[in-house]
Amino acid sequence: MVNTAIFVASWLIVGPGAPLSIALSLIVLGMATVLPHHFRYKTVSLIGVMGIMFVQCVLVVFLLHFQLLNLSPPPNQPPLATLFSLLVGADVRLAELGVVAGIVVGLYVEFGCSRLSLSQSFPSLSFCEPTSELVKVVQGLADTAGMACPDVQLIDSGEMLAFSVRIKRRYIIALSVGLLESLEPIEVQACLAHEICHIKNKDFSLRLIVAITRAALFARVLSYFVETSFYRTRELLADRTAALLIGTPNTLISALTKIQLTDSASDNTVGSQVCCLRGNACHFEILSKHPSIKTRIRMLESMASAK
């Protein structure tokens, strides 16, 4: 009874076809993600966890398709074993649906929403042309980061907003008039560096991979926690990379502190095509796709104290 319960639990958490040894290896791999401030290693570990789960799902679907795996319960089987076979069969069918969902999500993102214009993607926002000074700041940060300069747009809003987005295979950084008016120029530069680093760190490609895999693993409990941890890790990595890019974490700490004090609604869009400066963290951060500003400030303060 205990072995059956453990096996069923591992199926629900990890996926079909995963023996207990793989479930344990995933737990060990997940433990590597708690290392403080090793955000690139965390990313590899988290994607590795989702990758193993995804391969397990695809493998079982492949075996079913070529009739190499039989899930029909044998006759005269004990009731508990029959129930177990039915649960396994239902779980595998969910894996089949997940693989189809992953393909649909990938096609939708790449050939659907990513081809919309900026105004179509954000109909509630009004955009205008940036100043030449702002473009020069972004150009300077891009040159320092060793990458092509993204496009820049101003948001006609008094709220403190900033985000980077991939549209029509081009990267755009947008920030609000309210952010420019509320922060010092060096603090605005730190916020722009955060968005530049999302592009430099290949976050949009990684987010697309995670979005596709997450859709395929919609029936896997573990995938929910892995996905949110991935997003939080990439935000913290963008903060850390930005602090290194501008030469000090203190400027970004100052900017985040001022943003934290505002009570205006923030842009909390998080997905494969959008990286925002500020997001609304859940009460339980483990369920949130965006780290709280307090967590980000603590990480940056540890960088400052380590110098």
Q: pLDDT per residue over 8-60, tens digit each?
A: 666 667 666 556 556 666 676 676 666 667 888 888 888 888 888 888 777 77
DSSP 203-251: HHHHHHHHHHHHHHTTT-HHHHHHHHHHHHHHHHHHHHHHHHHHT-SHH
- Report pLDDT for 200: 96
Helix/strand/coil for 159: coil
Decide: 219 and 87 in contact? Cβ < 8 Å: no
- Report pLDDT for 81: 60
Q: How many Å apart are CA 237 and CA 231, to the nearest integer?
A: 10
Given 3-state DSSP classes, what are the helix, strand and coil percentages for the chain, each rounded to the nearest 5?
A: 65, 5, 30
- Report pLDDT for 83: 61
Q: For the chain, where do the domains classified as CATH 3.30.2010.10 start and end?
A: 117-306
Task: Please identify every stretch of the chain with a pLDDT value under 70, giving residue numbers as ranges.
Answer: 1-12, 14-26, 28-29, 31-36, 64-88, 263-272, 280-283, 307
Q: How far apart are the first and last CA of the chain?
A: 55
- Report pLDDT for 268: 47
- Report pLDDT for 265: 47
- Report pLDDT for 306: 80
pLDDT digits (tens, 9 = 90+) for 62-89: 776 666 555 555 566 666 566 666 666 7
Alpha helices in 146-176 (DSSP H): none
Decide: 117 and 125 in contact? Cβ < 8 Å: no
Whole-structure pTM value: 0.87
Q: Which amino acid is residue 176, in one-letter code?
A: S
Q: How many Å apart are CA 163 and CA 268, to the nearest integer?
A: 10
- Report pLDDT for 84: 61
- Report pLDDT for 286: 78
- The label of the residue with tokens 């990286």 reads 275
Helix/strand/coil for 291: coil
170-176 β-sheet, strand order = 127-128, 151-155, 170-176, 162-167, 274-276
Which residues contact residue 127 at a Cβ distance below 8 angstroms, ignoring those fewer than 6 apart?
Answer: 118, 119, 153, 154, 155, 156, 174
Q: Which amino acid is residue 294, in one-letter code?
A: K
- Report pLDDT for 257: 95
Q: How many Å apart are CA 121 and CA 239, to the nearest integer?
A: 25
- Report pLDDT for 67: 63
Question: What is 117-306's CATH number?
Answer: 3.30.2010.10
Helix/strand/coil for 170: strand
Q: How many Å apart are CA 56 and CA 180, to the nearest integer?
A: 48
